[in-house]
Structures are given as C-alpha cells and as structure tokens.
Amino acid sequence: MDNIEKLKLTCLHDLHVALGAKMSPFAGYDMPIEYAAGIIGEHNAVRNACGVFDVSHMGEIGITGEDAEFFVNRIFTNDVTNAPDGQCFYGMMLNDEGGVVDDLLVYKRGHNDYLFVVNASNITKDEQWILRQADGYRLCLEFMSEEMSELALQGPEAERVLEEVVGIPGADLAFYTFKEIDRDGDTVIVSRTGYTGEDGFEIYGSHPFIRQVWQALMESGRATPCGLGCRDTLRFEVGLPLYGNELADDITPLEAGLGIFVKLDKPDLVGGEPLRRHKSEGGPRRKLVGLEIQDRAIARHGCEVLSPDGEVIGKVTTGYRGISTDRSICMALIDARYAKTGTGLSVKVRKKTFPAVVVPKKFYKKSYKA
C-alpha cells in the first residue's frame, strides 16, 4: 500500500479508473496498461483507425539563453544548427563512454529556444546530467514536467480526429514538425510525431486543457483509449527502441543501429570520441538485430541467443508474438559477427531452444506522412 501511495498520478488518472483501465506502476507513475478493448483491440485500433494515449508521464525540459544552440548541439547527438523554427529532432544524449543517457525529442521553438522531451523513467537522471553539463554556459533551464501534460493521438484517422474533434488543423504539419497555438490563454504544442509506426500527433498543454481534450475524444467515440501495453507492441513491430531495452547507459547508438541520428562530425559532441573510435576500428562489436523464431514460442527480454555452435552470443531485448504480423519475433543485441540478415541462430526460451533467423528490425512496414 505504501508503494501505491508514493506513485505519481497524471492529470487523467481518475478518468482512466472510471473507464475501467487496468492500472500498473510504470516509471514512478500509476499508468493505464490496457482498457476494455484489451491490448490486441487497442493495437488494431491504432493500426486501422485512431487511438489516444495518456503520455503525461514524459518529461519536459526547456533550454534557452545565449548559448542554448551551441549547448544543445554539444549534448544532443543530432544537429540542430540552422534548423527552422518548428522542427523536431530525434536523437540521444551520451555519456563519456558513448552509452546512452537517454533518447529524446528536441523541439526548436525559436532562436536559442529548445524543448527537450525525455523518457519518464529518466527525468531526474536527465535533469541532473544536463545541469552538470550546463556549468559555465549562459543558459536558462526550466524543468516543466510537473506543469505539462501530453496526449498521443495515433493512427490513419488521427488527422481527421484532431481537426474534427479537437478543433486543431493538422494537415499543415509535415512529419517531425510542430506548431504552437493559443487555446483560451494556454500555449499548446502540437507535433506530427509518435511512437507507433502510424501517422499521428503529440499534443502538449496544461493539465486542464489535456483533460478537456481527452474528454472530448472519449465523448466523440472517434479515438480508442490505449494503454502502455499496446504502445509497446506497436513501437516494437516497427523497430523503435525502448530505453532500458534497446538503449541503455552501456549500449551505444551505433550498436542499436541508430547511427543516422548521431552526427559524429560535431567535434564538441559529448560522448562522440569513443563512437568515432569504434567506427574507425570497423564498427561496434555488438549489433541490435531482428529475429524471427521458427515456432510460436515467445522470447522475452533477457532470453539467451545462441550461435549455430551453441555459444551464447547475446540476449533478447524485446519479444512478442507480433499482432500485426502474426509471427514470433524479437529484437536482440548480439555479437556483430552473426548480425547478417538470413543468419541462422537459436533462442533459449524456458530451457528449450528454438531455431531463429536474423531479419530486419522493422517487422511491420508502414510509411509515415512526409
């Protein structure tokens, strides 16, 4: 009981409970895992129509000041130099060994004005890390996680639902761009981003505004309420990483196959030097791959991956029976020598060994709106 009382609640918590959501602790919050439709029903709603997620547990950090652009470019792997206002970026913050402190979105709101959106489980760690890096720079750091809430509206019908139910046009937003609007005195950020492999939007605003939007969506019946259960199955099927699984303090972006988001030509990039060294030495010794298991067995996080000779060469990071693909699939971090597509390996599940083959990590292919 003590642990439950210590959990944080999002501004929609009572509305989730009223809908009969199955609640569970996640990253220090009491969060909905699934609703009446169940994980499969919610997953399919996002793939085929529209679903809405409460992601108010995510963290928001504002970075402004004379040195903001230089500082952001130093601590963030992607390159924000000369970007237009309204551009979003995906990337990572790295430790001195090249491992990942966190993966995040960066929003360029204006000249020397940035918003970081970080993982809920890393909010405190990220804030402390940024504070340490900020020493000596002319910056204003604003930690806004307690004041902002967020919804993710996802699926092929998301644009129409955003316009017709929420009253915000979305057709003007290209993928990975955002706009800020005023709604009754509240500043609202709407971006064409998501974590599902479908078209969609993420909406940031005050707690009252987000409650109002959620209730309008529920009353309309146009968006299925979705929990964190299907958020994981959706992101996994399209090969998107989850911090703590595919990324971590001891996993580099190059090992995770995310080198496209790391601009190693930035000489001041924190954690860049070890990655440049690894690249010059022929690449990382471990690689994140997709595996298709030739059986209905499901390999969960931590299951061992074996070479053709039976040697342990890595571990599964995430695994499911694919909902959109109906295959037993998983992502695994393995010895790079065995990472070539088509390589035959095996996976150990509950003391039994099942054959598997290396496949592309994007198990389900769906195009984003450009």
Task: Kindly state whether residues 150 and 233 are assigned to the same domain.
Answer: yes
pLDDT over 60 (residue 328): yes
Nearest Cα to 272, choosing from 23, 91, 26, 86? 91
Mean pLDDT across the stretch 106-130?
98
Contacts of 72 (CB under 8 A, 6+ apart): 63, 80, 106, 114
- Give just the sign of the alpha carbon dihedral 312, 279, 246, 226: negative
Q: What is the pLDDT of residues 80-115, one digit of tens each?
A: 999 999 999 999 999 999 999 999 999 999 999 999
What is the pLDDT at residue 6? 87
Q: Which residues of 178-199 are buried (b: 16+ CB within 10 A; e: fewer)?
A: bbbeeeeeeebbbbbbbbbbbb
Task: Kindly state whether residues 153 and 225 are assigned to the same domain.
Answer: yes
pLDDT over 90 (residue 366): no
What is the pLDDT at residue 5? 60
DSSP 8: B
Mean pLDDT across the stretch 210-224?
98
Task: Kindly state whether residues 49 and 163 are assigned to the same domain.
Answer: yes
pLDDT over 60 (residue 355): yes
pLDDT over 90 (residue 286): yes
Q: Do the domain assignments include residue 111?
A: yes
The residues pairing with 334 across neighbouring beta strands, listed in sequence order, are: 287, 314
Mean pLDDT across the stretch 162-189?
96
Determine the structural domain holding residue 214 and report its residue range. 2-58+146-237
CATH of residue 354's domain is 2.40.30.110
CATH of residue 111's domain is 3.30.70.1400
What is the pLDDT at residue 365? 84
What is the pLDDT at residue 184? 86
Q: What is the pLDDT of residues 229-245, one digit of tens each?
A: 999 999 999 999 999 99
**Single-letter residue type at 148:** M
What is the pLDDT at residue 369? 47
pLDDT over 50 (residue 370): no
Overall domain count for the chain:
3
Q: Do the domain assignments include residue 226?
A: yes
What's the gap between Cα 369 and its chain centre? Answer: 18
Domain boundary among 109, 143, 177: 143
Query: How far is the CA of 278 from the CAs of 251, 254, 261, 366, in angstroms?
Result: 13, 9, 16, 32
SS3 (DSSP) at 56: coil
